[in-house]
A = this chain, B = another copy of it.
Amino acid sequence: MATLIKNGIIVSTADEFKGDILIENGKITTIGINLENHTDDIVNASGMYVLPGGIDQHTHFSFTYKNAKVRGFETSNAAAIGGTTTVIDFVNQKPGKGIVESVKEYDKNEVSNVAMVDYSFHGIVFEATNEIFEEIPTLPKEGIPTLKLFMAYKGFPYHCDDEAVFRALKASKDSGVTIMVHAENADVIDVLQKECLKKGLTDPYYHAVSRPPLVEVEATQRAINLARLADAPLYVVHVSAKEAMEAIRDANISGSSIYGETCTHYLILDTDNLAKPNFEGAKYVCSPALRSIEHRESLWKGVKKGWLNAISSDHCGFDWKVQKNMGKDDFTSIPNGAPGLQNRLGILWTFGVETGKISRQKLVDLFSTAPAKINGIDYVKGHIGIGYDADIVIYNPNTKNIISVENSLQGVDYSPYEGMTQIGNVEKVFLRGELIVDAGKYIGKVGDGKFVKGKPFGLCYEDIK
């Protein structure tokens, strides 16, 4: 069982060259120039870029807000046609259950039978009990080396106070687990939200007003201090504010194992989107909130310089007409989150590579290679290299396409990127050697996605020893 991809421009974080890739039994076994045609399954990639399949390290296929549930893994073919071959999904701890148990149930009931790309998991703490803290050191052996806590969302079960964050960090020390945080000051948001509502300011735009950048900066600095106190590594998800990014950068410079990601939407959208009339703004309600253009441009600088080391989608499939509409008269009741899993590569290519903001090598790193390392799955994923899983994207740089919900497999009734012109398109995608996207269409098999065990400490590993 072999496939030969020929004459593409192969891009890794380290090089770029015209060549061929031989896939055998789902693995990349040979890379070279003018490889012999040992197989009949030959793919002509001439004029195309050949990239490692994307790793989206931040998706929510299972979040529920009040009675609104996001679209699940049955829409994971959207990842595939967007060039993402592995998602690391956030799994909410279930009431009265441990992290591992929650993950396993979820995997069995909602993932393994429908996944159309490979997947790994992060846990999310919902009940900060002694049992959970005791469970933390055991997570790596289950292949779940990451655990997130929400510092935001006062009043919700998943909100974690400093005690929880600090205890989680302490428990993670030396265990191989990297604690992740959603860093926003829950109390301040709560006060500002109530203040807005009291003044009758209920439009989606006030989502941003009640979550100013300093709310994120404060919590980020706090999380960093807690990590230092615990002497444990920390990963800050969806960084959106310039000074939060700088706090992470400076902590790293000073020698702490502190890292962070940003997300696609923070790089090309801004607060103006939230101000769209007719409740359109609700489509852009995610947390942290979209920022001003100054923040946005600083994030581009930050990903180029490596101050943030990955770009995820923070994909969250809530519908607009029904689900987002819960907050029609009260922005605080709009379910947070936006879909974007399908568009990550196209957007980074269009607004990053084509504008010269980042090189193709950097794109590959932010989109695939670094997320694989961060989550400890770089032993099989994230790189076009010998022995790696043959997760490969063939990207045609020569087309122009309008992004629209009409072309979306995300199962949601809108796209936050509606109407934008994307340069290039995903032509073919291989998952462990299987062609699952052809001519941009998903042709794979439901349930063919496999669980990938994460190894301890991921990218932080080198720093903490």
- Report the minimum CB–CB distance from A415 to chain B (whole Å): 31
A218 touching B226 by the CB < 8 A rule? yes
> Roughly how many angstroms separate A12 CA and B17 CA in the complex, as a whole number?
15
- Report the minimum CB–CB distance from A384 to chain B (whole Å): 9
For residue A13, CB closer than 8 A to chain B, the reply is yes
Residues 249-268 of A, flagged 1 when their CB comes within 8 A of B and 0 if not, give 10011010000000000000
- Report the minimum CB–CB distance from A7 to chain B (whole Å): 12
> Roughly how many angstroms separate A249 CA and B191 CA in the complex, as a whole number?
28
A386 touching B19 by the CB < 8 A rule? yes
For residue A188, CB closer than 8 A to chain B, the reply is yes
User: Which listed residue, B15, B33, B163, B465, touches A191 by the CB 8 Å rule?
Assistant: B163
Interface size on A, residues (CB 8 A): 56
A31 touching B218 by the CB < 8 A rule? no
For residue A166, CB closer than 8 A to chain B, the reply is yes
> Roughly how many angstroms separate A225 CA and B253 CA in the complex, as a whole number?
22
Q: Which residue, A10, A215, A249, A462, has most C-beta atoms of chain B within 10 A?
A: A462
- Return the chain B residue nearest A28 by Cβ: B32
- Chain B residues in 8 Å Cβ range of A214: 225, 228-229
User: Which listed residue, B12, B35, B356, touches A30 by the CB 8 Å rule?
Assistant: B35
For residue A369, CB closer than 8 A to chain B, the reply is yes
User: Which listed residue, B33, B221, B387, touches A17 by the CB 8 Å rule?
Assistant: B387
Task: State the copy count for this chain.
Answer: 4
- Chain B residues in 8 Å Cβ range of A64: none
B387 touching A33 by the CB < 8 A rule? yes
> Roughly how many angstroms separate A215 CA and B166 CA in the complex, as a whole number?
11
For residue A383, CB closer than 8 A to chain B, the reply is yes
- Chain B residues in 8 Å Cβ range of A215: 229
B253 touching A229 by the CB < 8 A rule? no
> Roughly how many angstroms separate A190 CA and B249 CA in the complex, as a whole number?
29
A218 touching B222 by the CB < 8 A rule? yes
Q: Which residue, A18, A161, A252, A356, has most C-beta atoms of chain B within 10 A?
A: A161
- Chain B residues in 8 Å Cβ range of A383: 14-15
- Return the chain B residue nearest A378 by Cβ: B15
For residue A212, CB closer than 8 A to chain B, the reply is yes
- Report the minimum CB–CB distance from A314 to chain B (whole Å): 24
Residues 173-189 of A, flagged 1 when their CB comes within 8 A of B and 0 if not, give 00000000000011110
B387 touching A356 by the CB < 8 A rule? no
B212 touching A187 by the CB < 8 A rule? no
9 contacts between A and B (CB under 8 A): A14-B369, A14-B385, A17-B385, A30-B31, A33-B387, A166-B191, A170-B191, A214-B225, A218-B229
Interface residues of A (CB under 8 A from B): 10, 12-15, 17-19, 22, 29-35, 161-163, 166-167, 170, 185-188, 190-191, 212, 214-215, 217-218, 221-222, 225-226, 228-229, 249, 252-253, 255, 301, 305-306, 356, 359, 369, 383, 385-388, 462, 465
Known: A12-B14, A30-B31, A162-B185. 14 other contacts (CB 8 A): A13-B13, A14-B369, A14-B383, A14-B385, A15-B385, A17-B386, A30-B30, A167-B191, A212-B229, A214-B225, A218-B225, A221-B221, A221-B222, A359-B462
